Structure 1
Amino acid sequence: MKYIIFDIDGTLTNTTEIDDLCYTQAIAETFGFSDFNTNYGHYENTTDSGILNQLSLERRNRPCTVTEIENFIDCFLHLLERAYEKQAHYFHEIPKAGRIISSLVRNEDLRIGLATGGWKQSALFKLQCAGIDIEGCSAASFAQDAFARRDIIGHTISKMNKRHNTTPDLADIIYVGDGNWDYQATLQLGIKFIGIDNKKLAHLQDITKISDYDELEQHIGLLTLTS
């Protein structure tokens, strides 16, 4: 049995731009922070929870409280909902993403999971807006589960292991993502990586990349057969 685990923003949904805009606005509205680095790939943990934690420690010398996080998520989700009402074109799927998920979940030799650095509420909202059905996925983990992306992916793997009562070899676990932080997380975990071909991964020449989801099933077979 093989696991295929997907990131969401930039991988399944074409929502990175609007997500960053609403996330930045929510930070300003909820915490009153200004003049902070909005190039979120430069934070220690490029996840919604990791970024908030780092900003709070740097600005206030303490982590966020549970109530503060809940208020932030409410604000962020409200901003996303308002953006969708006005600019629904920012919430499309990556072409063929929904179709590939539907195809993979029907494969008896595969189990499909999700692991995203976004909050559960915002992630599910974006998937719904993009029309991607994740009902057949085995497990999903979100920013609430950990600060570090490797730990979020690891959380999904653990949930899948428990659900299916199995522990696949690391060579039989593939993470599909669109950022260098995704690739680094897979190196730390010792699992395989398939990247969405974009400028964020352009500097990585020796990794498997896809420019069309029609290529994914072929690469899944090649990666697992040659491991």
Structure 2
Amino acid sequence: MKYIIFDIDGTLTDTTEIDDLCYTQAITETFQFSDFNTNYGHYENTTDSGILNQLSLERRNRPCTVTEIENFIDCFCNLLERTYEKQPHYFREIPKAGKTINSLLRNEELRIGLATGGWKQSALFKLQCAGINIEACSAASFAQDAFARRDIIWQTISKMNKRHQLTPALSDIIYVGDGNWDYQATQQLGIKFIGIDNKKLAHIHDIIKISDYDELEQHLGLMTLTS
């Protein structure tokens, strides 16, 4: 039995650009922070919760309160919803992502999960807008579950283990993502990685990268034969 766990932004949904824009605006509106680094890949934890926590510690010498986080999520999701009403083209699926998920879910040798650095509310909204149905996935974890991406992925693995009463070898767990932070998290966990071919992963040469989702099932088939 193998686990295939997917990131969302830039992996299943083509939403990275609008997500970053709305996230930045929500920080400004909720916390009145200015002149902060919006290249979010440079934060210690490139997750919605990790970035907020780091900014709050740097600017105010304290973490965000639960109420502040809730207010931020409300603001962020409202911005996403308003943008979708006017510009739905910012919320497309990565071509063939939904079809591939559905196909993998029919494979009795696989179990499918999600692990994203985004908030649960925003992640589910973007998946819905992109027309990707994830109801049959085994488990999902979000920014609410941890600051570090590796811990979010591990939360999904743990939930899948509990649901299916399994403990697969780390070599039988594959994470599909689009960022260097995704790759680093899999290295820390000791699991396999398949990347979405883009400039964020261009400097990494010893990994499998896909430019079309049709390639994913081909690679998974080869992995099954060789493991």
Q: Counterpart in 2 of 1:157?
A: 157
User: What letter is aligned with 1:119?
Assistant: W
**Offset of 1:136 from its aligned partner?**
1.1
Q: Using the alignment, how far apart are the partners of 1:223 and 1:111 within structure 2? A: 15
Deviation of 1:54 after TM superposition, in Å, equals: 0.1
Gaps of 5+ in 2: none
CA contact (8 A) 1:50 1:148 kept: yes
Distance 1:219 1:107 in 2: 15
Q: 1:64 is paired with a residue of what secondary structure?
A: coil
1:19 is matched with which residue?
Answer: 19
Deviation at 1:135, TM superposition (A): 1.1
Amino acid at match of 1:113: G
Deviations 1:91-150 (A, max 9, x none): 000000000000001111000000000000000000000000001100000000000000
The CA distance in 1 between the partners of 2:147 and 2:155, in whole Å, is: 11
TM-score normalised by structure 2 residue count: 0.99
CA distance in 2, matches of 1:61, 1:226: 50
Number of the residue aligned with 2:191:
191
Contact 1:171 / 1:224 at 8 angstroms: preserved in 2?
A: no
SS of residue in 2 equivalent to 1:37: coil
Identity %, equivalent residues: 88
Aligned position for 1:57: 57
Question: Partner of 1:75 in structure 2?
Answer: 75
Residues in 1 aligned to 2:89 and 2:162: alpha-carbon distance in whole angstroms: 38
Cα-Cα RMSD: 0.6
Give how far 1:37 is off: 0.0
The answer for the alignment partner of 2:107 in structure 1 is 107
Give the whole-Å Cα distance in 2 for the aligned partners of 1:190 and 1:59: 34
Which letter maps to 2:91?
Answer: F
Q: Is 1:9 equivalent to 2:9 in the alignment?
A: yes
The equivalent residue for 2:171 is 171
Could you give the per-residue CA deviations for residues 19-54 of structure 1, whole angstroms, max 9, x where no partner exists?
000000000000000000000000000000000000
Give the Å deviation of 1:8: 0.1
Matched, 1:217 2:224: no
Q: CA deviation at 1:224?
A: 3.8
Equivalent residue, structure 1, for 2:204:
204
Does structure 2 conserve the Cα–Cα contact (< 8 Å) formed by 1:115 and 1:153?
Answer: yes
Determine the structure 2 residue equivalent to 1:44.
Answer: 44
> Partner letter of residue 122 of structure 2?
S
Name the CA distance, whole Å, in 1 between partners of 2:97 and 2:163: 24
The TM-score, its normalising length taken from structure 1, stands at 0.99
User: Which residue in 1 is equivalent to 2:134?
Assistant: 134
Q: How many residues align?
A: 227
Matches of 1:191 and 1:226 in 2, distance apart? Answer: 16
Question: 1: distance between equivalents of 2:3 and 2:109?
Answer: 9
